[in-house]
Amino acid sequence: MTYKICLLPGDGIGPEVIASAKDVLSALPIHWDFIECGIGFGEYQRSNSPLPDSTLQAIRHASAALFGAVTTPPNLPNYFSPVVRMRQSLDLYANLRPCKSIPHESSKANIDLLIVRENTEGLYSGIERIEDNGDKAITERVVTRKGSERIIRKAFDLAQQTKRKTVHVVHKANVLRQTCGLFRAVALEIAKEYPAIQMIEMLVDTCAMELIRAPEQFEVIVTTNLFGDILSDEACMFVGGLGVAASGNIGANVAVFEPVHGSAPPLVGTGKANPIATFLAASMMLDYLNEAESATRLRRAVSACIAAKESTPDLGGNLSTSEVTKKVIERINY
Ligand code: NAI
Ligand code: MG
């Protein structure tokens, strides 16, 4: 079996971390057919579009895609964020953010949480308007039964597959009675299909507080778009921060995996970009491709490097991007 992987290096440190991930994936006993496609500001300067149709087509036809990061210039008229556009165009409805303890002093212990964020609707539906001559701004929050069903089912399925016992359904139905009310009602229905998993409801403000107080209580959190955006950034700080935070965007037959960080312009060419977030995104991609053994092998190699302080400066080490990559490959080959 050969997997066709669409690599999307993007801008800034994106090409550096994607090149490292390509080397690490190539060290595993799997056949890869890598194709590279353009995305981001550099691509816009070349082709006049930050997300050409040819890139979207290539992602659709690949087994999966691995994305680095893009630079989004502020104040450029007619420019659009290719990240948001890609998620919408490919209907990547589930944003998965695992938060797992790493063997490092900046990480809390005993955390193994998966945040499942709805990625296509909610407050990010893009329906906005101005009224009263500019004195009133309105954003519509759209929650549908279909959108809620598929994200909540994804959360329960993932809980079942990973042998977790609880799913926290996070909402604010006491105030947002219609939108969160529908999300909650759908969750209560779907939970009945999974008798082995306990559904726990939590209001989003309580959840933000509980994440700080006792993050280890959570196994899976499922929630709407904006709440998930905020809670997942909050949660990744307990487990090493941006240098190690990975995510996946999953649709019906398409998936794009990426580090959470951006293009970090000041780090370009310094060798200080931590490639580990991208390696962990690659390990999520391996899980998605049902290559669980290789996924585990990669995660173990990464953990061993972190524990041995074989890391870039953000994790207190003194190795460069390519040196960390070499160390991870050595440990894969042990
Ligand atoms: P950023 O994530 O690029 O950087 C934030 C901080 O984290 C900086 O101090 C940076 O040096 C550090 N950092 C980021 N990645 C790192 C890595 N791999 N290793 C070590 N340190 C790392 O966010 P910032 O500075 O707000 O944005 C820079 C550009 O990235 C902007 O144009 C922004 O629009 C874009 N961006 C793109 C994202 C994406 O492509 N998904 C996500 C976030 C921002
Ligand atoms: Mg975010």
Q: What is the mean pLDDT of residues 290-318?
A: 96
Burial class of residue 203 (count of CB atoms within 10 Å of its CB; 0-12, 13-18, 19+): middle
State pLDDT tens for residues 109-122: 999 999 999 999 99
The count of structural domains within the chain is 2
**What span, in angstroms and rounded, lies between the C-alpha atoms of 222 and 124?**
16
Q: End of a domain among 238, 268, 287? A: 238
Ligand nearest to the CA of 225: 2
Contact status, residue 220 vs residue 164, Cβ threshold 8 Å: yes
Percent of the chain with pLDDT over 70: 100
199 and 164 in contact (C-beta within 8 Å)?
Answer: no
Distances in whole angstroms, Cα of residue 204 to Cα of each of 22, 56, 174, 180, 207: 38, 34, 11, 11, 5
* In a domain? residue 22: yes
Neighbouring-strand partners of residue 99: 113
Instruction: Check pocket membership of 242 for ligand 1, CB cut-off 6 A.
Output: yes
Task: Count the Cβ atoms, other than its own, within 10 Å of residue 45.
Answer: 10
Is residue 235 predicted with pLDDT exceeding 90? yes
Q: How far apart are CA 303 and CA 112, in angstroms?
A: 14
Report which bound ligand comes closest to the CA of 278. Answer: 1
Q: From atom 12 of ligand 1, which residue's Cα is the shortest distance away?
A: 264
pLDDT of res. 80:
87
Point out the ligand nearest to the CA of residue 233: 2
Q: Which CATH number does the domain housing residue 190 bear?
A: 3.40.718.10
Instruction: Indicate whether 102 belongs to any domain.
Output: no
DSSP state of 133: G
Candidate of 72, 260, 263, 306 to mutate for ligand 1, largest count of ligand atoms within 8 Å of Cβ: 263
Distance in angstroms (rounded) separating the CA atoms of residues 215 and 125: 29
Rounded to a whole number, what is the distance in angstroms from the first to the last CA of the chain? 24
Say what the pLDDT of residue 75 is: 84
24 and 74 belong to one structural domain? yes
pLDDT of the residue at 15 = 98
Could you tell me what percent of the chain has a pLDDT over 90? Answer: 94
Query: Is any ligand 1 atom within 6 A of the Cβ of residue 180?
Result: no
Q: Write the residue with the smallest CA distance to atom 31 of ligand 1.
A: 71
Task: Look at residues 215, 238, 261 and tell me which one is the last residue of a structural domain.
Answer: 238
Task: Tell the residue nearest (CA) to atom 38 of ligand 1.
Answer: 262
Nearest to 42 by CA among 88, 8, 5: 8
53 and 68 both lie in a single domain: yes
> For residue 98, is it within any domain?
no
- The residue-averaged pLDDT of 170-191 equals 98
Domain assignment present for 100: no
For residues 317-331, one letter each, b for 16 or more C-beta atoms within 10 angstroms of the residue's C-beta and e for the rest, the string is bebbbeebbbbbbeb
What integer best gives the mean pLDDT of the chain? 96
Catalytic residues: 124, 172, 205, 229, 233
**In the prediction, which pLDDT does 76 show?**
87
Are 292 and 284 in contact, with CB atoms under 8 Å apart? no
The tokens for 7 are 């690599």
Residues in the chain: 334
pLDDT of residue 232: 94
314 ligand 1 Cβ < 6 A: yes
Assigned domain for 99 exists: no
Classify residue 103: in a domain, yes or no. Answer: no
Ligand 1 pocket residue status of 262, Cβ below 6 Å: yes
Report d(CA 13, CA 232) in Å as an integer.
Answer: 22
Give the β-pairing of 166-171 and 2-10.
unpaired
- Which residue lies with its CA nearest to atom 34 of ligand 1? 72
Q: Between these two residues, 166 and 74, which has the higher pLDDT value? A: 166
In this prediction, residue 77 has a pLDDT band, given cuts at 50, 70 and 90, of confident
273 lines ligand 1 (CB under 6 A): yes
Identify whether residues 251 and 131 lie together within a single domain. Answer: no
**3-class secondary-structure state, position 219:** coil
133 with 176, same domain: the answer is yes
pLDDT above 90 for 303: yes
Residue nearest to atom 32 of ligand 1 (CA): 71
pLDDT band of 29, cuts 50, 70, 90: very high
Is the predicted pLDDT of residue 306 greater than 90, yes or no? yes
Domain encompassing residue 13: 1-92+245-334
